[in-house]
Structure 1
Amino acid sequence: MTKRFVHVAAGVIKRPDGTFLLASRPEGKPMAGYWEFPGGKIEAGESAAEALQRELHEELGITMQEALPWVTQNFDYTHARVRLHFFQVEQWQGEPQAHEGQQMAWVSPAHHAVEPVLPANAAILRWLALPDQMQVGSAAAECVLLSQLPQQSQRGEVCGVLGPQPLQHWSASDLMLQTVRPAAVSWCGAQVQSHEQLLHAARLGLDYVWADDSVTLAEIQAWCVDGPPLPLFASTHRFPEGLAAARHIGVHGLLR
C-alpha cells in the first residue's frame, strides 16, 4: 500500500549575514540526533505558513513576522513519506531558544559543520548557495558561468561572486532529451517553458530552472502555488516591481 504524504512546514531562518539555523532532532523522535531545518507537521485546518508560525513558537520561542514561500520537496523515509514545504524566514521576534532539548547551530551554505543532516535537506543546503540575482554568459556551447550581479540587491546586500564554476545549461528542448544529470559539473540548470519541463528538471536532480520569456506571470504564479520542486528564476521584466515581489510568491530570484 502506498504511504500517504505527511505534510511538513520547514523554515530557513536566515540572519542578515547569510547564516541560517539548523537544529538536531531530539531524543524520542525518529532519526534523533540528525540535523534539520526547524518546523513540523501541518495540522488539519492549517496552512503551511500557519503551521510554521506555530512550530517555530513551540520549538524556538520566536514569533515569525514574515515567511517567503520557496520550494517543496518530497522524500521517502522508511518510517514516513514526507512533503516538505520550505519557507525563507528573515524577519522574526525573539531569540531562538531550544525549547525541546535540541541542539542548535548557525551555519552557512559553505560551512555547515554539523553531522549528520537529514537526507531530505541535502539539496536544500546546496540551493542556499544560489544567488537571488543571476546572469548567465556563454563560456562554451553548453557551459556557462554563474555569478551574482555586482550591485546591491533589494535586500541591501552587496552581491558577491558564486563562480566561475562549470555549469551545464540546457535549453528547454535539450532538457527533454536528457535522462540523467551530468556528473562532471558543479551546477546544472535549464530553461523551462512548461510545467512538464519544470517537473522533468526536478526528476533529473537539477539545481535550478529559469522560466523562459514565453512563460506568463500567471503561469509562474500557478507553478508557485504549492511551491516549485527546485529553485525557480524568472526574468526581470516579469517582475518590474523587483526582487521582493518575485520572492513574495515563491520565485527564488531574477535573471538579467
Structure 2
Amino acid sequence: MNLQAGQEVRKVMEVAAGVLLRADGSVLLGQRPEGKAYAGWWELPGGKLEPGETVLQALARELKEELGIDVTAATTWVTHEHTYPHATVRLHFCRVTGWHGEPRGLESQDVQWVQAWRAETSAITAAVNAREARIAALAPDASPEAHVAATALSVEEGLGLTLSPPVGPLLPATLPPMRWLQVPDIYGITGIDNPDNLSAFMHKLDSALARGLRLVQFREPGWPEGPNAPSLLAVLRDVIERTHAAGGRVLVNSVHPAAWWNEADGVHLRASDASGPRPDIAPGSWVGVSVHAAHDLANARKLDADFVALGNVLPTPSHTDRAPLGWQQFAALNLQAGLPVFALGGQGPDTLATAIGHGAHGIAAIRGVWDE
C-alpha cells in the first residue's frame, strides 16, 4: 500500500451489534458505564469479535455476557463502518428476535426498551439550535470526545424521530440502525400500466394495506400517456391518500417528474439516476435506490440512501433478459451495501423468511405483494 506523508493506517475493529426487537417494535439500548469511553452515551449491545468467531457466535457470546440472555433467533442485517476520533469500527448489525431470559445489565450498564416515533417539527428545530449552541461553546483545545459530544446529531435532528421513553445521547454509530428500523420489510411496487387496470389495482392496494403493507413505490413507466401525464399524477395522489390513511408511505420512482416527489414521502431512484448527490427533497423524506451491482451500491452509499432494492435475485417476467443473481450472490453484495437491502425479483411474502435469512432487510415486488 502506498501512503502519503502523514497518512495513518488505522486498524478496523470488527464488532457484532445486536438489535433486540420486541413484538411491539421496541428496541433495547444500553448506557455506557463510568470508566468507559463515552460514558453515559446510549448504544446497542454487542462487542468485538474474538479470533475464529463468526458474527452470530460473537453476538451470542456478548449478549450472554452483557445481558444474561441466550439468543435463540438472530439474523445478520447490515454491515456498516463508522469512524470515531479514536477508532474505526465495522459494525455487523444483527436483528435478534428470540432469546431466553430477561435482558439486564450485567456490566454496570443501565438498559432501556425504547420506541421511535416521528418527531414534531418543533422538536427537530430545538435539536438543531441546541447543537449549534454546543458547537459555538466548544473550546479550541477541546478533546476529541468533546468534539464528538458537541457535534453529534440527536435522533430528532439526525433522524426526525423521538424516542419514548427519552434517553440521553446516542453514540453516532447507533443512529443509522434506529433510522433503518423505520423502514418496513415489505415494499410494494405498483404495476398498473393502463387506465383499464386502475379499479382492480386500487382494490388490490386497499387489500394489501389492510394486510399491513406500509411502503409503496409508485412506478408507472409504461403509462399510455407517458410517465409525466396529468392523468397519472391524479392516480399518484389517489395512491398517496389511500396509503397515508393506512399509516404508510409512498415513494415516487425517478422516471416520474421531480415535482411529484415532494407530494409523496420521497423518491426511489433508478440506478442510472443515482450517480449524483442526494436529491433536494423535503426533510424527513426517504430516498431508495435500485441497484444491480457493487458500483451501484457505492453510489447509493455516497448519496446517503435510506435503503436499496437489489435484484433481480430470482427469475422474473419483468427482466427476462437479465440473469438472476441467486441468493449466494445477493448475500455477498448485501455484505458490501452498508445500508438496508430489499431483495427484488421473483419475490413475495413467501420468500420473506428466505430473504431475511440471507441478510436482506425485506422483499420488494411488483406482483407478489398484491396477490391475495
Shorter-chain TM-score tier: 0.7 to 0.9
Q: Distance in 2 between matches of 1:130 and 1:240?
A: 16
Instruction: Tell me whether 227-236 or 66-75 shows the greater mean CA deviation.
Output: 227-236
Q: 2:115 is matched by which residue type in structure 1?
A: S
Q: Distance in 1 between matches of 2:279 and 2:34?
A: 37
- Tell me the CA shift for residue 115 of structure 1: 2.1
Confirm or deny: 8 A CA contact 1:74 1:84 kept in the other structure.
yes
The corresponding residue for 1:9 is: 16
The corresponding residue for 2:341 is: 232
Confirm or deny: 8 A CA contact 2:71 2:99 kept in the other structure.
yes
Q: 1:124 is matched by which residue type in structure 2?
A: P
Q: 2:28 is matched by which residue type in structure 1?
A: L
Q: 1:127 to 1:115 in 2, by over 3 A?
A: same
Q: Distance in 1 between matches of 2:60 and 2:281?
A: 39
Give 5+ residue unaligned stretches, structure 1. 139-146, 154-159
Which secondary structure state, in structure 2, belongs to the residue aligned with residue 73 of structure 1? strand
Which secondary structure state, in structure 2, belongs to the residue aligned with residue 66 of structure 1? strand
The corresponding residue for 2:296 is: 197
Q: 1:231 to 1:211 in 2, by over 3 A?
A: same
Q: 2:176 is matched by which residue type in structure 1?
A: A
Give 5+ residue unaligned stretches, structure 2. 1-7, 118-161, 192-205, 214-245, 251-263, 313-321, 366-372
- Structure that is richer in helix per residue: 2
Matches of residues 34-45 of structure 1 in structure 2 within 5 Å? 34-45=41-52
- Tell me the CA shift for residue 182 of structure 1: 3.0
1:247 pairs, out of 356, 362, 365, with: 356
Confirm or deny: 8 A CA contact 1:134 1:254 kept in the other structure.
yes
Matches of residues 73-84 of structure 1 in structure 2 within 5 Å? 73-84=80-91
Q: 1:94 to 1:236 in 2, by over 3 A?
A: farther
Matches of residues 40-59 of structure 1 in structure 2 within 5 Å? 40-59=47-66
- 2:281 pairs with 1:172: no
Q: 2:23 is matched by which residue type in structure 1?
A: P
2:167 pairs, out of 114, 118, 138, with: 114
- Tell me the CA shift for residue 84 of structure 1: 0.3
- Tell me the CA shift for residue 183 of structure 1: 4.8
Q: Percent identity among equivalent residues?
A: 39
- Tell me the CA shift for residue 98 of structure 1: 0.9
2:34 pairs, out of 19, 27, 52, with: 27
Instruction: Tell me whether 127-136 or 230-239 shows the greater mean CA deviation.
Output: 230-239
**Greater RCO between the two (CA within 8 Å, min separation 6)?**
1
Work out the number of aligned pairs and report it. Answer: 240
Q: 1:68 is matched by which residue type in structure 2?
A: T
RMSD: 2.2
- Tell me the CA shift for residue 241 of structure 1: 4.4
Q: 2:332 is matched by which residue type in structure 1?
A: A
Q: 1:162 is matched by which residue type in structure 2?
A: G
- Structure that is richer in strand per residue: 1
Instruction: Tell me whether 1-10 or 205-214 shows the greater mean CA deviation.
Output: 205-214
Which secondary structure state, in structure 2, belongs to the residue aligned with residue 169 of structure 1? strand
- Tell me the CA shift for residue 108 of structure 1: 1.6
Q: State the TM-score, normalized to the length of structure 1.
A: 0.86
Instruction: Tell me whether 206-215 or 25-34 shows the greater mean CA deviation.
Output: 206-215
Confirm or deny: 8 A CA contact 1:85 1:227 kept in the other structure.
no
Which secondary structure state, in structure 2, belongs to the residue aligned with residue 242 of structure 1? helix
Confirm or deny: 8 A CA contact 2:277 2:302 kept in the other structure.
no
The structure that has the greater radius of gyration is: 2
Q: Distance in 2 between matches of 1:236 and 1:102?
A: 44
1:144-190 superposed Cα distances (whole Å, 9 cap, x missing partner): xxx9854268xxxxxx63325521221111112x1345352510111
Which secondary structure state, in structure 1, belongs to the residue aligned with residue 178 of structure 2? helix
- 2:185 pairs with 1:132: yes
The corresponding residue for 1:60 is: 67
- Tell me the CA shift for residue 50 of structure 1: 0.8
Q: Distance in 2 between matches of 1:168 and 1:28?
A: 44
- Tell me the CA shift for residue 253 of structure 1: 0.7
Confirm or deny: 8 A CA contact 1:72 1:228 kept in the other structure.
yes
Q: 1:16 to 1:84 in 2, by over 3 A?
A: same
